[in-house]
Homo-oligomer: A and B are copies of this chain.
């Protein structure tokens, strides 16, 4: 089968990390060209799937492994890369930054977390990809329990509240949020406590993914509504 086509295919990831009540995105500085900041990613190898390619690129360029990876959108405007025609399959990835030391390599000169409110002008259409990724994250945390992938495995309930407030960029009704989340039965109370600020120690919770999966099979929908 002969097809005359001169288009390359790449994968790019919008990697979200949450630390100190801030939502951050992992960017790399390109080793070549003008040394612009860009999303981690690169060309797909002939022998790997798209998902495998993005896992490999993340590891090579930044040293991280995503807790959660989801295909976002495929960007295919003709002029998006001035060098040659490149179609980019984008992903969102969620990680807990505390589990990794960033390590730039291969095509990346540097790898760094940037606050979502302070993203520089990036290579190609990567700012547009980030906007699409943020939109997906903001929408999806309302109907899938993916936010837990951004937290420590054991967390005080207030961390979950802050996470939602930070991602949605608005105040939430904390009492209703807590009531709703606990009513799902997918959070397990541990016997451990954590001291936060000057208040009394807060109980730590764990997300019970087995319970969630069992409930989901029975038709349970994780859904959070904010006024």
Give A residues with C-beta under 8 Å from B. 1, 3, 5-9, 43-51, 71, 73-74, 76-78, 83-85, 87, 89
Besides the contacts A9-B9, A46-B78, A48-B78, what 11 more A-B pairs have beta carbons closer than 8 Å? A3-B84, A5-B8, A5-B44, A44-B87, A47-B78, A49-B77, A50-B76, A50-B87, A74-B74, A76-B89, A87-B87
Nearest B residue to A50 via CB reads B76
Question: A61: shortest Cβ distance to chain B, in Å?
Answer: 16
Separation in Å of the A199 CB from the closest CB of chain B?
Answer: 36
Partner pick for A9 among B51, B77, B87, CB 8 A cutoff: B87
Chain B contacts for A6, CB-based, 8 A: 46
- Do A1 and B83 have beta carbons less than 8 Å apart? yes
CA A89 to CA B47, docked complex, whole Å: 18
- Is the Cβ of A7 less than 8 Å from the Cβ of B84? no
CA distance A142 to B17 in the complex (A): 31
A84 to B47, CA, bound (A): 11
Which residues from chain B contact A1 at a C-beta distance below 8 Å? 83-84
CA distance A41 to B8 in the complex (A): 19
CB-based nearest B residue for A47: B78
The CA-CA distance from A77 to B76 in the complex, in Å, is 19
Question: Contact at A44–B76, with CB atoms within 8 Å?
Answer: yes
- Interchain CB contact under 8 A, A85 and B50: no
Complex: how many Å from CA A99 to CA B113? Answer: 52
- Chain A to chain B contacts (Cβ below 8 Å), 15 pairs: A1-B83, A3-B8, A3-B43, A3-B84, A6-B46, A7-B8, A7-B9, A44-B87, A49-B76, A50-B74, A50-B76, A50-B87, A51-B76, A71-B73, A87-B89
In the bound complex, residues from chain B placing their C-beta under 8 Å from that of A77 are 49
Checking B7, B47, B89 against A44 with a beta-carbon cut-off of 8 angstroms, the contacting residue is: B7
Closest to A80 in B: B49
B46, B73, B78: the one contacting A49 at CB < 8 Å is B78
- Whether the Cβ atoms of B85 and A46 lie closer than 8 Å is yes
Nearest B residue to A6 via CB reads B46
